[in-house]
Chains A and B, each alone.
Chain A
Amino acid sequence: MSRTGRMSAPGFGGTLPTPARATEVTALIDGYLVNLASALPCPRSTSSAIVSEIEDGLMEAVSDYKARGMRDKEAAQAAIGEFGEPAAVAEAFRPEFIAKRARSTAIALIASGPLVGAAWIAGAFFAGLPPVRDHLSGPWLALPLVGLAIVIAAPSSVIALVTTGRAGLRLPMPPSLPSKAVSVASIAALAADSTLLLMLVFYALTTPASRSFLPLAPAIAISLVRAFFAVRHRLHTRRSGRLAVGSR
């Protein structure tokens, strides 16, 4: 595998020229890095940065061993032995990837919550929907489910955010708590968005065609985007879980 592209780290815009190395060292280090890159359970942009970081560490270790009198190949083998099996190194990163994903999802949910709420309330108001004017009826009877989902999603997101931040280093908690909390939050957010969209669809099917739903377009778009990311988070989480089970 060419090292071009695989070694690019964020902000560098591609592979930098590497100094000439002994062929044996290059082959050993590159083989290790290729195996590591394929074992890392994370997006390519993240794995490229980690591989670059490990490559630098490996080369430092090789220099160290050579300074102690080892030959090139011997030094490379010692450095690789010191770093450990690529699969083991990749596995050691797994909790960090899961925590990072949980944190970014929690931040996205917390940030999008007020936006989604404001967009739906404003849209419903300007579209003159029944829930604004009259008592709840028809499909709008499901509206309390949205409230329930929000009541579940908000604290779950906050728990995920807190436990993946600084406080998480000191809190005694099961390692899986942030991941579980954000899974609950994303499912609840998906339920809220789905309920809102389904209520609107049912209402649109039973109302005169002359009614304009244009004021609700931003709310629909935001909910669809959030639902897409919630589903994607679930798929990534399930895939990570399967990989974790498979690697044991």
Chain B
Amino acid sequence: MRAEALKGHLDALLLATLADGPRHGYAIKESLRLDSGGEFDLPTGTVYPALHRLERAGLIGGSWSVVAGRKRRSYELTDAGRRALEAGRADWRQFAIAVTGVLEGGTCPAPAG
């Protein structure tokens, strides 16, 4: 899937990859690819700047460590990031239900929760 198709959803998707704990940039990219069944195989040049943008916004925090003799930057959700992820999930549910209602026809069911 092209990166443009994810426009507007990339931030929430990146936050979701960190829901289970800290990850480094490449692991985040791989998580996105694997969890989407290979659909979201983004160019790496898109992922790292997006992570820096989320860190600047205070939604994720980055920290350095040393792994196998290499410096590694790992990211984890901040409290604001967890709230943003929940908001992103709720927005997506509402959006998906509405789109499904229109594309598939029939009455749009009320979003759960």
Contact = CB atoms under 8 A, between A and B. Distances in A.
Interface of A: 7, 9-12, 16-19, 49-50, 52-57, 59-61, 64, 82-84, 88-89, 91-93, 95-96, 99-100, 103, 164-166, 168-169
B72 A84 contact: no
A123 B1 CA distance: 63
A83 B45 contact: yes
Interface string B1-26: 00000000001000000000000111
A29 B27 CA distance: 19
B34 to A, nearest CB: 11
Nearest 5 Cβ contacts at the A-B interface: A57-B26, A89-B45, A92-B45, A60-B26, A83-B44
Given A17-B69, A60-B24, A166 B80 contact: yes
Contact of B71 (A7, A19, A96): A7
Contacts of B30: 64
Nearest to B30: A64
A53 B74 CA distance: 9
27 contacts: A10-B64, A11-B64, A16-B71, A19-B68, A19-B69, A53-B25, A53-B48, A53-B73, A55-B70, A56-B24, A56-B70, A57-B25, A59-B70, A60-B27, A64-B30, A82-B44, A83-B44, A84-B43, A89-B44, A89-B48, A92-B45, A92-B46, A92-B49, A166-B57, A166-B58, A166-B80, A166-B84
